[in-house]
Structures are given as C-alpha cells and as structure tokens.
Structure 1
Amino acid sequence: MMKKLFLFFKALLTSLLLSACCELNTDNIVYIVSTNDMHANVLNHNKQIDLALISGLKKHYDALLFDAGDAVQGAPLAALSDGDDVISLMNAAGYDAMTLGNHEFDYGQNKLFEHAASANFLTLCSNVYKDKKPLLNNLNLPNEGRYAVFNKNGFKIGVFALTTVQTLQSTDYRLLNTLNFENEVKSAKKMLDLLRPLKLDAIILLAHLGCDDAPCTSKNLALALTGVYQDELDLIIDGHSHQEYVKHVNGITISQTGSRLKQVGLNVLNFKASEKPQVKSILLTYEDLLSKGIKPDAQTEELEQKFRHKQNKILQQEIISLPFTLYGGEQYGIDLSRVTETPAGDLAADAIMYALKTKISSNFLKFPAVAIQNGGNIRVNLGPGAVTYASTLYFEPFLNTLTSKLVSPKILYDIFEHSYRYLNNLSAAGTLQNIKDSGGFLQISGLKIILDPNSKPKVKAIFLDGETTALSRYDTKRKIILAGNDFILSGSDGYSILKDIPTLTEFSDEQDALISYLKHLKENDGFTQYLKAQGRISYTQLPKSVSAYVKIRNFHQQNKKLKFHCSVDGEKFLPCFADKNGLLKFELAPGDHILQIAEATQEIYLNTILGIGIKQGSNLSTIPAVELMPTKE
C-alpha cells in the first residue's frame, strides 16, 4: 500500500511540475532537452524512449537539445557500425551539442574525429588536449570545439563541456596516446574566464563527471566555483554515473537522467524574475511523454526503421560455430546458471576477465584480478552450431557496463557467502536437496571456491589462480581487483557491501566483451575447455563416483537393441548397454557431464549435484530421456 501511495504522489508531483514549469510559453523562457549515457539504446523497444520521441519533445517545446556523453557505444546499433548509425540518428533528431564521454574514445581517435565531423551538431570538449592543443582544434568547429554560444528566444546561452579525467583509467590506454586531460575545476574556471566578457545570459556545462567516484564529481565542481566564479554557472547537464537526480548545489542546478534513455531531462531557464535565470529541471519517463501528448518525429522514426532492418540482417551473421552446447540456460526446469557453475557461466566470466586484461594497461593491473558474472544475466545456452550476434543478445540481454573495484579477501568471502546462500542440504550421495535459484548466483573467473552447503559459513576456502594457499577470511589489507557488470558492482541484488566501494575503472560493455572473447577463442581453438564446467566451484564431502542414468525413450521401437556407442565429456565412443527397461547406467565423478550416444538424435546434459540423471527409487522424472534415430527398414 505504501509503495502504491509513493508512486501516486510521485506521478502527481511530476504532473504538477510539468504544468508549472513547462507550459508552452517562450517569452523569457528557454527550454533545454537533455540526455546522457544513452549507450546507443536509441531505438524504441518495448515502450521505451527513443530518439524519434526525443526529437518530438524538442519540437514540442522549441528547445535546445544537448547530450552529456557516452552516446555512441553499448548496443548492437553502435557495435555494428562503430557508432556511425547513432550519429546519423542524433542528426535526424536535431541535437544541438554533445560532450565527449569516456566511451566516445572506444573506437579510437580517428573515429572520434569522424563522428565529430559528420555530426550536424557541435561536439564540445573543453579539457582534453592533443599535442598541447584543444582536442577538436582541427575540425573547423567554432572556438576550437571548446565552447559554443546559442541564440535562443533572444537570449545568449553559453555552453562548454568537460570529460572526466577518470577516462584515463576507464578507457583502453592505447586509444588515449598523446592526450592530456586537464583538471576539471581548473578547466571550468578557465572557461568561465573566457566566457565572462561575452556578456552571456546563461552558462551551461555539459559534464561527463557523475556523482559517484570520479576524481571530480559534478558536486565537487559546483562547490569549487566560489569567489569571482560564484553564480556564473547556471546548469550542469551531467552524465557518467548512470544515476537519476536533480540537485541544487551552490546555486547551480545539476541534472542527470540515468542511462539508456529510461528518462529524458527537461530543463527550463526562466529569465522573468532577474538577470540570472531561474532553473527548473525534471526527469520524464516514457509514460510522462505520452501523457503530455508528445509525438515521435516522423523523419527520425523512418530512419530508425531503416537502421532496425539493417541491424536485424547483420545480427544474423555468424561469429563462430560451436561443435557442442555450452550449457547455462534452463534444463529440465532448472535455470542452471542460477544454481551451479556452468560451462556458459565459465565462459561469460572469462570474457569479462579477457576484456579487463586486454583493454586496461598491465601497469594499471598491479593487483591480482578476479571476475564475476551473475547467473541471472545468462539466459540461454550457446550452440551447438552457429553463434550469431543475435545469439549473444539472447545469451546476455542486458547490455550492462563492465566495471572493476578494489576489494579485500574479507569482502570476497562476504560476497560469495551471499551468492551461495541458497545452497543447502547436500546429501551423502552428493546431490543438493530443495534447490532454490538466485539471479545473484555468481559464475567466476580467476579463482576457485570450496563450499560446504551443510554448514555456516558455507564458503570454506577461496584460492586465487596460481596460489596454493587460501585467502584469509579476515584479511582486510590485501587488494584484489574485482571485475563484473555495473548491476552487481553497484550493489544490486543484495550485494550492498559493494555499493560504497569506489569504481576503479569502467572498461567495456558485456556485448563487446563477449563477442571479442568468442572471436579470440575461435582464433586460438579454445572452445574445448568449455565442454563442461571447469570445477571452479567445488564441494566438500562428495563421493568419488555417482551412478547416473539416461532413458532411451523409443527403446521398444528399436527391436530391443541393447548395445550402443557412448561418449562422456568428449572422450572416445565406447560400447554401452541398456537394461531391459531402456536405462543406460554410467559411473561418473560428481558434477556436470555431457553424454553423446552415437545412435541418438541429441546430446544429453547430466548434473549429479543437481539430481539431473540421478535415480531416486522408482521415480524416473529426473532421468533425461533421449530419442534414438529411426532405423532403416
């Protein structure tokens, strides 16, 4: 009931703000529509804001349209065109200016310059220098791309832009060669000194700084503008930290819309009361826009349709071909990656580790590193056969950003204790009872974990790869790099212990990391290691071997043929025999196994720890069944 009341009053407040500050009145008012951290999620999927709707909002209010960075990377639309299609859509939508986020550097400096040159809007950057000159100096932009002045409704609006110095950590260092990032406060003061003689009516900063853990946050910057700089800056359109807020700090309004166009900012500069404008900012959802009668811009919508068709064709292109299935999705009613280590989970975590080590300087990675991927982010199996770009989206659909933090062994123990809290009641036969899945079940890379589900704590030991001594459970001093997606590392899914730990670096997105790693494995013939789970998560008190069974479903239609040819985990095919009921029996080590029967139509996944393949009295419901191929008459 309280939640419903909260949502009601939130909707009411938004409605009142829309009515109060956003009337269609341009006398003494300048409207500014703002976006940030779109990460190429600019097409309308399942009732979300797209650039056609953004363009409609701009036209509805006759507004300026600004972006605070990280626009051209993150979704297939960008990955398949190196961001070109995003720039084309921003052109169609009518953007007026954007700043550079750290991810605008992801395709290299030449591509960044191409994007800025092909944009019909201004790309601004005030604090990055190349060879001691402003970064965008050679692109024929006004004022060397450092600032711009927009004349709107009779008012002169000055705009400059800052990119976080943290980019030096969060972007592949090889792409930043010869670049120098100037301190944000120093650069802001320099720009205000430069703009002061222009007698502007308002000054806006497009800031890719955020409020989280950057060396200089937007709040830090606002607080630093004192003395001669007091009250000179009116509005900060912020980005980088993927958070939703409107703040007022030291007389400056700071607005950030979150990420991936979940919301859009509407900022109002009202010059009625005094020379200094009154600034009001609100964040609008998709539903807010519809309720306000905002219509998508037809031209932008048509271009979106064209790119969606182009994207869908490319998404069917093959990346690699797998000779077997990488299990991790649902099998026999169990979401595997939410309850156990899986081959797909091993690969997903290794892809994050690969991205970390290939995109970040080895000098920066001076501590041992581990990687995690939450099982709830792994939705289907991969393979067998062609793995396309579309397959990777079905596999990991959330397009999260990959980040890293410095943690201690104690924090690692706490994290994994939370991760595996639902593992209970391991029987003497080595099978978990009363399985309860969790989207926060962590797949891991760079370490091994030993669990005892029947005790507290459940995590008995953690070993880093290459080390024979377990980490100390109470060690708070040693530093270890923990890499994973921003959903988990921001403290979601119960991982609150990670929330307040500063981000060390933001280094990739999940899709790019996964696709790059698949291509790497293809070039190095490295897929066979993922035929089955690699034993990174193990259990105490497991039996040496377990009897597992497979049922031949159409056994009686095959003339009671007893002899078959079976392969376990890719080993050589050997004779195997079914009993009179069509049951094949195998003695296996506890864990997951891949069974192939030469005479059958498909491979079989077994997992003795989860009870898949385990015979429980006369109950055969957990015994996988296989169809034999039809025999020739």
Structure 2
Amino acid sequence: MKNFRKKISAFLFAAVLAGASLSAAAEELPVEGISSEEASAVEELSQDGASAEAAAAAETQVTIYHTNDTHGYLEGDGESIIGLPLVAGLRNADPDSILVDAGDATQGLPIASLTKGNDVIRLMNLAGYDLMVPGNHEFDFGTDAFLTNAGLAEFPVISSNIYRGGSLLLSGIQEGNSGCHTIIERNGVKVGFFGLTTTETASATNPEGIQGLEFTDEIEAAKQEITHLEEAGADVIIAVGHLGDETAGAPCTSTDLAEAMTGEFYGDLDVIIDGHSHTVENAEVNDVLIVQTGTGLNALGKLTVTVLADGEVEAEESLLSVADFADVTPDAATEELLAQISVSQDTMLGESIGQTATTLWAGWIGQAAPTRFVETNYGNLAADAFADAGRTMLAASGNADMPVVGIENGGGIRAAVYNGNITLGSLTTAFPFSNTLYMKVVTPALLYDVMEVSGSDLDGQDPETGMLLQTTISGGFLQISGFNVVFNPDAEAGNRVVSITLDGQDTPLDREDTETQIMVVGNNYIMSGGNDYTMLGSLPKYAEAGGELETIQSYITANVQDGVLAGYRGTEGRISYTGSVYKPKDYEASVLIKNEDGTPYANGEITYRVDGGEGMKGTTDADGILKVTVSDGGHGIRVSDSQSEVYVDNYTGIGIVVDAIRAMPELTVPEAGSEIPVTEEPDPEPAPDPDPDPEEKPGDNVTADPGENDGDKASDTGKTKENGKAVQTGDEEIMMPAAVLLAAMALSAGAAVAVYRKKRTKESICH
C-alpha cells in the first residue's frame, strides 16, 4: 500500500508540475485493477485541497541518532568512548531529532549489571531516548527484571516477536505502548518504528531467565508490522532490530531481513537500525539501508532521513566519534546522575561475596604475567565457571552427555584477587571487558590445533627447575577446564602438544579424530578468532552461555562454603610441561623476609602458610631467606594473615631465580601477636625424587594431578604509576635479555640456590 501511495503521489506530483490541479490529475489515473482500498487512497489524494505549490514543497528531513550494544560504557573517556552525557547534549542541541537504541544496553560494566539495568534506564530517561528495542542480554537477569526496566522507561520499549502465553510480551507494560511498534512525528513526517529481537535469544540466554517466552520468526513479524504502520499512515518505516550481520551467527541477520522484502513489500521498509554483532554496518541491501555503530559507545549513528515531495524516502548514515563532539555541551542532569550512581556503586563494589583463603593469581607480578604462560588457580576457576555454565545450557536442552570444556585466554584475566575479601570491584577489575560466553562444538583434532596455538610461544625449559625459557608471552595462552594438556616446550612450534586428556578418562584424545564432538565454552573474543584462534572463529555458534563477569560471580557464590571459596588452593597439573628431560616434582622456593626497617630478618624463626593452609614453622638463613618446599607449580606464601601473599612458581621462575624479569618475593616480619599459629608439627620434607629412568622417553608416565576449573598477544609492557608503584598496562611482548636466558638455561636446582647467594645484597634483592 505504501509503495502504491508513493506511485500515486509521484503521478500527481508530475501532473501538478505540468500545471494541472490535483483533482484533474486524479481523474487521469488509471483505475483498472485498483482495489477499493487503493481507490480510497486516490480519492483521498484527489480531495486534497493543497495547491500545486504545496504539493511541490521542499523536501523534509528528520535526524535519527542511534546507539546499540553500549554494555554499560556510559561514561566518556575523551578518547574512544563518547559517554551518555555528550549524547544527551547533542540531543538537547537538536530537539527535533529522534534518539533510539537497538539493544544490549542494560548488561555489561558494573554500572549496568549491579542494578540489573535499572540505573541504565534512569540515565536513558534523562538523556532523552525516544525508543528502545531489547537485545538478548536484556534478559540476562530474567524476564521479570527486564519488564521492571521496561516499566521504568519513559520511552517505548518495543519488540514485535516476543510472546508469553500467546500474548505480546511488552503489550500493556507501558501506558499507551503497543509493545510492538510506535510512530514518532517530527517536522510533519510520521516515522514508524517496529522492534525485532533475534530468535537466537532463546539459545543465547540462561534458560531460567526466559522460561515461557517465545521468540517468533523475525521476517514474518516484520511484514506484519510494516502492514500495520502503513495502515497507520507512516511516511517512513524503520525496523530497529537486534539481529546483527553474519558474524553474529544469528539465524536471521539484518541482511536476511532486507532481502526478504520482496513482492508487495518491496520498497516498504526504508531502514534497519541494527545491533548484536558489534560491527559497523552502513550498506544498502535490496533498497533497504542497514546501519549499526559497533559497540561500547565508541560511535554514535546519525541517520538522516529525507522525505521528498513526491513521497519517496532517502536515507543516509554517518558515524560520529568523540572528536565530533568537541563543540557539544554535556547534559548536566545526565552527568550529575552518572556521578551519583558511580559514588553509590563504589559501596556496592566494595561488598564482599566471600573470602578466599589464598590469592587467586592473575595480572602482572613484576615483569611476569603468570596467566599468560602457566596454569594459575584463577585461570582454573574462570575456565571452570565457563564449563559449568555450558553444562547447564546443555542439560536444559537435553544434551547433557556431550563432554564440555572451558577455556579462558590469560590476557583476559587482568588482576589477582589477594587472600581475603572477594569483592564485586575486584572481579570487575579482573574481568573488565563485558565479554559474552560462546559455545561451539569442536573435535579432538581441532582441540589439538587450539592448544598448539596456546603453546605457540613456549621456547624451551630448564631441565632441572622446569622454568620456562620464554622470550615472549601471549595473552592468548589458555587457562583450561575439563581436560589436561601436556606440552613439550623444547619441541618445534606446531608440535608442542604431547597429549590432551579429558577429565575422567585415562586415554588421551586421538589427534586425528575429526568425528567426536566436544563442547567448548569461552569468551567471545577468543571464540570469534582473537589471538590467532581462527579455527574457532570459523565455527558456527551453538549458543551463548551468559556474560563472562556474571558467570564468574555466580560460580564463586555457588562455591563459597561457610563464607570461604572452596577448591582453588594452588594449581592442579591441568597444564604440565615435560620438556625433553624435566618431570613434575617438588621444588624449593625462596622468599626474602625483612624487618620493618627493610633489613633482612636473619637467622630467625618464623611461621608461614602455603596457599592458605595450615601454619608451618621455618627459619631464615643469614641473609633473611626463607626456603619452602612446595609441589610443582604456582603457590601463595604469607607469614601473617594480615598481609597479602607473594607468588612462587618453578615454571615462571619466580622464587627460583632473580633476573631482569623475576624479582625476589619479599615479605615483612609480622608484628608481635599477629604471627600465624602452628597447630601441629609440619611433615618432614619429602625425599628428592630418584633420578629418572635414563631409558624413559620424554612424556612417558606423565599425567595431570587429580584435582578439582579481550587480551592480545604481546601488548602489555607499557607501565603507568599508581600509588608510587609501577603498574602494568596494555599487552606487549616481554623480551628477556639473551644473557639472562643463557644463564637461566644453565641453572640446576642447586644453581638456583647459588643465584640467591650471589644476589643477597640488599641492593640487588630489592631491585
């Protein structure tokens, strides 16, 4: 109908320009084959008393600003994030404009997630939004939380393809809102909007949060809405969809929707304002303009819609970046509320969700970042949380028998949580990227390929201590759950994985197996091909398992027993390194104990804990060095429960050698009365392992110890100062001096002690 009206308008307009009156022109229209409805349209136009000058009036423009997938990035940084106060300021400066959002606004950074999106809606109200369509992540906190937010909104929240109990979900939630479409009039132009939410939401959201919801076919819903809006007299019709392009893996993309506008619907849909794929879209498909801004308020979309005098519609898109807001005054009210929310959330971020008896290790320790080349307990926890979320999703879909494994790139865990309180703030510091968990099906052969990429920067191993002789480290090194992997760091790149064994199995996976199905759960950065995991990026997405941060928070809460996180003291041998000679074994770590004045605590008795365990007794040597025998891998050591632990690890070399990369771990003697109590005598030190069988091949009889699961490679060397201390930022390669590497390669377990003796001056130990 809309297309027919355009044709009539064009005919009449041409006749008027030729000097005829509207009524005379109408009489010349062919009537054969015209329906009664179309004839009424002719009559309506012929009865129009507008003059020829009015019919030939100048074209009319409407500006529509749009956002999508902001995920809580509402505070500008002056460089890459625009911030909501500036968006609101632009809206103020252009009061005849329209501001819409295409979904995923209420989940992500703490400002969004801590109040389940409530604070985001309050800010959007102040910013002057005219319309919002729910994305899949609007349901991360459940349907009731979403409907609460929709009821709070002072603008229509619409989606035409979400039903519950046979009724449109959003119908009646807001007074005067149909729940599926709306018409906004600007400059005499009626702009009709309808909403679409990807049907992928049914498999991309925690099933508990969307029980009873039905997500119907996007194309059929769109055709129905176009008909309704035409009948309501819309001059322009725009779909605001959370669909995405082909990279999102949704069953119906924005391109699919545009291409479906054929036959009687051709030319009726003018624009699709899109979201979901976090990509920039600006292309015309089948006479429909498709636009999207990316993610995180890095850009604001400016859509200029022009209605010509003959009724035809033209649309043009441009992206506005931070630089384009140089002359825009931020909206004071939005800015003030944002500041108030930030202050109130500081208290929430400081709230404890449990205690950890030992440090969850991640981030940078001096010049080393353990999660980027060795197993850590925080890496285990994150990967376990992912795998657990995947199993829940599979169980809900009746496919609980498929093996599930979790992976997390080491560069994606940005900071440790030290022994003591686990707070929301500490979790958001560790996981700041608002990633989404993707589920994809792989085979054993593909999993071997994935782990070869993970071990691609391994560069040899000291045969005695096990220390890895790295020249670079990678944010793409994977922390894992559901399986163990054995690496040979001395092997050639592409052939370093000795074996991969699923939990509960004794036989390693067959590297040539391309049939067996294994479900992998990881964040969208890795699963979309980041850090060279192109083999994962090319796979179709099976489902989404929720937000990364929210999943980890829920997993920790579920594993807190009597207020304390259970199960993550030390590492478990999920990732082991055979080298050509080295076999996992106990080792002796060294920690410098100092007095309050900084002098060595020499020849003194002291008690300590390893990984938050029982109190142990020890004695420092003449240089203040406490030697502690620990099992293979990383551990936390403290000499007072009021202090943060220090990290030791034979694979990273921390606590084994001191060089340009690795500093000596240091602790201060506790004040009187704060010593760690010892309830029983420590076990005698284990005898050293016998010499390995000289006929044994590398990798023989090596198994993982039984037990309890957006960082680019080479970009974290930049440093800033915080509280007078160096803080690592970015993700750049760490280069070890050749001389240091050669010295490290020559070390033996005894030589490591000798290194400490050579370095035991105060000046060298504290560098």
- TM exceeds 0.5? yes
- From 618, 626, 629, the equivalent of 2:667 is 626
- From 424, 427, 438, the equivalent of 2:462 is 427
Deviations 1:257-308 (A, max 9, x none): 1112111110011123742211101122112222xx2222222222222222
Which letter maps to 1:188? Answer: A
Residues 1:502 and 2:559 aligned together: no
Q: Is the 8 A contact 2:594 2:601 kept in 1?
A: no
Deviation at 1:454, TM superposition (A): 0.6
Structure of greater Rg: 2
- Residue 614 of structure 1 corresponds to 656
Distance 1:619 1:110, change over 3 A: closer
- From 213, 232, 237, the equivalent of 1:198 is 232
Which letter maps to 2:91? Answer: K
Q: Is the 8 A contact 1:150 1:158 kept in 2?
A: yes
Distance 1:178 1:83, change over 3 A: same
- Residue 491 of structure 2 corresponds to 455
Distance 1:359 1:310, change over 3 A: farther
Deviation at 1:441, TM superposition (A): 1.2
- Residue 527 of structure 1 corresponds to 565
Q: Is the 8 A contact 1:319 1:388 kept in 2?
A: yes
Q: Which moved more, 1:81-90 or 1:579-588?
A: 579-588
Residues 1:334 and 2:389 aligned together: no
Give, in whole Å, the separation in 2 of the partners of 1:200 and 1:381.
Answer: 55
Secondary structure of the corresponding residue to residue 605 of structure 1: strand
Give, in whole Å, the separation in 2 of the partners of 1:204 and 1:559.
Answer: 73
Give, in whole Å, the separation in 2 of the partners of 1:424 and 1:381.
Answer: 26
Deviation at 1:459, TM superposition (A): 1.1
Q: Is the 8 A contact 2:71 2:106 kept in 1?
A: yes
- From 288, 293, 297, the equivalent of 2:331 is 297
- From 505, 509, 513, the equivalent of 1:471 is 509
Give, in whole Å, the separation in 1 of the partners of 2:241 and 2:370.
Answer: 42
- Residue 761 of structure 2 corresponds to none
Give, in whole Å, the separation in 1 of the partners of 2:341 and 2:294.
Answer: 25
Give, in whole Å, the separation in 2 of the partners of 1:386 and 1:560.
Answer: 32
- Residue 135 of structure 2 corresponds to 101
Deviations 1:332-362 (A, max 9, x none): 4211111211111112222223333446653
Which letter maps to 2:473? Answer: D
Q: Is the 8 A contact 2:367 2:661 kept in 1?
A: no
Give, in whole Å, the separation in 2 of the partners of 1:273 and 1:442.
Answer: 60
Deviation at 1:169, TM superposition (A): 0.1
Give, in whole Å, the separation in 2 of the partners of 1:365 and 1:123.
Answer: 35
Deviation at 1:436, TM superposition (A): 2.0
Identity between Structure 1 and Structure 2 (%)? 36
Q: Which moved more, 1:318-327 or 1:127-136?
A: 318-327
- Residue 375 of structure 1 corresponds to 410
Residues 1:402 and 2:437 aligned together: yes
Q: Is the 8 A contact 1:373 1:443 kept in 2?
A: yes
Q: Is the 8 A contact 2:655 2:664 kept in 1?
A: yes
- From 196, 216, 239, the equivalent of 2:275 is 239
Deviations 1:568-612 (A, max 9, x none): 445544443444444344444432233344699664421112222
Q: Is the 8 A contact 1:566 1:598 kept in 2?
A: yes
Residues 1:415 and 2:450 aligned together: yes
Distance 1:35 1:572, change over 3 A: closer
Distance 1:434 1:226, change over 3 A: same
Distance 1:142 1:105, change over 3 A: same
Secondary structure of the corresponding residue to residue 144 of structure 1: coil
Deviation at 1:248, TM superposition (A): 1.0
Give, in whole Å, the separation in 1 of the partners of 2:352 and 2:649.
Answer: 30
- From 478, 482, 489, the equivalent of 1:446 is 482
- From 70, 84, 100, the equivalent of 1:38 is 70
- Residue 60 of structure 1 corresponds to 93
Q: Is the 8 A contact 2:603 2:622 kept in 1?
A: no
Deviation at 1:165, TM superposition (A): 0.7
Distance 1:558 1:336, change over 3 A: closer
Deviation at 1:174, TM superposition (A): 2.2
Give, in whole Å, the separation in 1 of the partners of 2:480 and 2:445.
Answer: 17
Deviations 1:148-191 (A, max 9, x none): 11111111111111111101101122222222221111111122
- From 180, 204, 223, the equivalent of 1:146 is 180
Give, in whole Å, the separation in 2 of the partners of 1:601 and 1:131.
Answer: 56
Q: Is the 8 A contact 2:366 2:662 kept in 1?
A: no
Secondary structure of the corresponding residue to residue 231 of structure 2: helix
Structure in which a larger fraction of residues adopt strand: 1
Deviations 1:212-236 (A, max 9, x none): 3111111011111101010100000
Secondary structure of the corresponding residue to residue 350 of structure 1: helix
Deviations 1:77-119 (A, max 9, x none): 2222121111111111111111111122222222222222221
Deviations 1:385-404 (A, max 9, x none): 22222111222222222222
Distance 1:525 1:85, change over 3 A: closer
Which letter maps to 2:190? Answer: K
Distance 1:122 1:135, change over 3 A: same
Give, in whole Å, the separation in 2 of the partners of 1:223 and 1:537.
Answer: 48
- Residue 315 of structure 2 corresponds to 279
Give, in whole Å, the separation in 1 of the partners of 2:599 and 2:132.
Answer: 69
Which letter maps to 1:226? Answer: T
Give, in whole Å, the separation in 1 of the partners of 2:358 and 2:197.
Answer: 45
Deviation at 1:532, TM superposition (A): 0.9
Deviation at 1:469, TM superposition (A): 2.0
Q: TM-score, normalised to structure 2's length? A: 0.74
Give, in whole Å, the separation in 2 of the partners of 1:309 and 1:143.
Answer: 34
Q: Is the 8 A contact 1:590 1:608 kept in 2?
A: yes
Distance 1:52 1:542, change over 3 A: same
Give, in whole Å, the separation in 1 of the partners of 2:661 and 2:363.
Answer: 22
Task: Please provide the CA RMSD for this pair.
Answer: 2.7
Give, in whole Å, the separation in 1 of the partners of 2:63 and 2:496.
Answer: 56
Which letter maps to 1:561? Answer: N
Give, in whole Å, the separation in 1 of the partners of 2:444 and 2:155.
Answer: 48
In the TM superposition, what are the counterparts of 1:198-237 in structure 2 within 5 Å?
A: 198-211=232-245, 212=247, 213-237=249-273
Secondary structure of the corresponding residue to residue 514 of structure 2: coil
Distance 1:596 1:230, change over 3 A: same
Q: Which moved more, 1:166-175 or 1:298-307?
A: 298-307
Give, in whole Å, the separation in 2 of the partners of 1:599 and 1:113.
Answer: 46
Q: Is the 8 A contact 2:439 2:522 kept in 1?
A: yes
